[in-house]
Amino acid sequence: MFRRILTYRNKIPVLIKKISNYLSLFSENMVNLISRMNKIFEKHDVKFTYFISTYLIENQANFFSHFGNHDYGPHGHLHPDYSLIGRKAAFKDMKDAISIFQKLNQKPWIFRAPYGITQIEKNSDLFFEYEKKLGINYDSSINIQKPPWKEPPHPIKHKSGVTTLPLIGVSDDVLIDNLKLNNNNEILRRFVEALDFGKTGVLVYDLHPIRMGQIKYIKILEGLIKSINAKKNFMILSLKEAFSKFYKKGEDETIVCLSGDIDNLSILDYFRRLKT
Ligand SMILES: [Zn+2]
- Centre of ligand 1 to C-alpha 114, Å, is 5
Check pLDDT > 80 for residue 274: no
- Centre of ligand 1 to C-alpha 255, Å, is 23
- Centre of ligand 1 to C-alpha 213, Å, is 16
DSSP 26: T
Output the CA torsion sign for 72, 76, 81, 84.
Answer: negative
pLDDT, tens only, 117-174: 999 998 999 999 999 999 999 999 999 988 999 999 999 999 999 999 999 999 998 9
Say whether pTM exceeds 0.95.
no
Report how far apart, in Å, the C-alpha atoms of 58 and of each of 63, 65, 76, 78, 217 are: 9, 14, 12, 11, 29
First CA to last CA distance, the chain:
5
- Centre of ligand 1 to C-alpha 20, Å, is 18
Domain range enclosing 132:
2-275
Count the domains in the chain: 1
The CATH number given to whatever domain includes residue 244 is 3.20.20.370
Check pLDDT > 90 for residue 4: no
- Centre of ligand 1 to C-alpha 232, Å, is 32
- Centre of ligand 1 to C-alpha 251, Å, is 33
- Centre of ligand 1 to C-alpha 266, Å, is 14
pLDDT, tens only, 16-64: 777 766 666 666 789 999 999 999 999 999 999 999 999 999 988 899 9
- Centre of ligand 1 to C-alpha 45, Å, is 26
